[in-house]
């Protein structure tokens, strides 16, 4: 018979493991090992750490697969540990910093208060999430880099698996600096694209699209999707947008798209689509962060998404899983 305490112990141990991971990154151990194996004393000198204490962090890091011993007291990075290098093409270095940041940890640790009172303990202390990011440039940099790293696998899957052949123009609504649009345009040379973003983000988006070699086929329009989406296109993309808002606000965004979209156009929603049963899903776990930080924002199940979109005037035509538990939901205007 399985031990009913085992899942709880694993969750408790997960906190301990994350503390080792955070120290491993903050002490810059991956950078110290980038060029090859080093001894504990060598690492302690490079990381400005106490050798005996650092040895315990390294032992734990090896136990969770970030390091391997090449000889007693000498370590090298594993393939998993290497993704914690800031310049790794799939780096999760900013993901660790973002997750461990005091404001975001506070949001998770005060879920009880939030759920009991209905008030965001996070918002009461730090204000709205995007207000915090506008004030804390270091956290904003880590957060943006983490979102970029998180979106890269499903952006590539979307560009690879979705049929863009019938479209000529795609509008990425709230597309940030345009990383998803750039991925799609690089894979589909016949497409032109536009990012719709707030004014302060527009210069970064223009520079990014140009740097990715698609500036001649991509533009940036400033706008607020709660006011209007001022452009016609064959295809509209909302990636990780709807999950930030409650049903009323999400419906407003969708209806603004409907007001702009011509006959035959489609809207793609890229989000996590949770199972309606009790099966585990990354989105159910991410929803705890949404609850702690945004409150009204939420991850939705397929039935919840279907009801939301139908109520806003859309019908789902296809749902395709992409990567990292994220799916693309294709929709058309409802009858």
Sheet of 74-77, strand order:
38-39, 74-77, 67-71
pLDDT in tens, 120-137: 999 999 999 988 998 999
Q: pTM (2 decimals)?
A: 0.90
CA distances from 198 to 20, 194, 195, 241 (A): 38, 13, 10, 14
Active site residue 142: no
Q: What is the mean pLDDT of the chain?
A: 95
User: For every one of its 335 residues, what pLDDT tens digit does the chain have, with 9 covering 90 and above?
Assistant: 689 999 999 999 999 999 999 999 999 999 999 999 999 999 999 999 999 999 999 999 999 999 999 999 999 999 999 999 999 999 999 999 999 999 999 999 999 999 999 999 999 999 999 889 989 999 999 998 998 898 999 999 999 999 999 999 999 999 999 999 999 999 999 999 999 998 888 999 999 999 999 999 999 999 999 999 989 999 999 999 999 999 999 999 999 999 999 999 999 999 999 999 999 999 999 999 999 998 788 999 999 999 999 999 999 999 999 999 999 999 999 87
Which entry of 188, 200, 243, 281 is annotated as an active-site residue?
A: 243
């Amino acid at each position: 018979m399985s031990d009913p305490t085992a899942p709880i112990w694993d969750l408790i141990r997960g906190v301990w493991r994350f503390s080792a991971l955070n120290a491993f990154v903050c002490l810059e151990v991956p950078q110290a090992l980038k060029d090859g194996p080093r001894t504990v004393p060598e690492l302690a000198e490079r990381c400005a750490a106490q050798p005996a204490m650092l040895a315990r962090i390294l032992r734990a890091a090896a136990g969770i697969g970030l390091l391997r011993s090449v000889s007693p007291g000498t370590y090298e990075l594993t393939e998993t540990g290497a993704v914690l290098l800031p310049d790794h093409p799939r780096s999760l270095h900013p993901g660790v910093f973002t997750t461990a940041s005091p404001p975001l940890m506070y949001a998770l640790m005060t879920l009880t208060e939030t759920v009991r009172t209905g008030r965001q303990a996070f918002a009461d202390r730090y204000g709205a999430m995007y207000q915090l990011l506008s004030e804390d440039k270091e956290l904003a940099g880590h957060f943006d880099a983490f979102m970029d790293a998180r979106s890269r696998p499903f952006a590539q899957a979307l560009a690879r698996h979705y049929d863009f052949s019938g479209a000529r123009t795609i509008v990425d609504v709230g597309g940030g600096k345009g990383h998803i649009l750039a991925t799609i345009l690089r894979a589909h040379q016949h497409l032109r694209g536009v990012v719709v973003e707030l004014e302060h983000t527009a210069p970064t988006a223009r520079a990014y699209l140009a740097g990715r070699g698609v500036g001649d086929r991509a533009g940036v329009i400033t706008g607020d999707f709660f006011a209007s989406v001022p452009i016609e296109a064959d295809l509209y993309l909302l990636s990780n947008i709807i999950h930030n808002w409650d049903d009323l606000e999400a419906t407003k965004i969708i209806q603004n798209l409907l007001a702009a979209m011509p006959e035959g156009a489609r809207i793609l929603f890229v989000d996590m689509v949770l199972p309606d049963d009790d099966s585990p899903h990354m989105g159910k776990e991410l929803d705890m962060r949404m609850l702690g930080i945004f409150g009204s924002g939420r991850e939705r199940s397929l039935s919840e998404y279907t009801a939301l979109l139908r109520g806003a005037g859309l019908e789902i035509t296809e749902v395709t899983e992409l990567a990292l538990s994220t799916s693309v939901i294709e929709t058309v205007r409802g009858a």
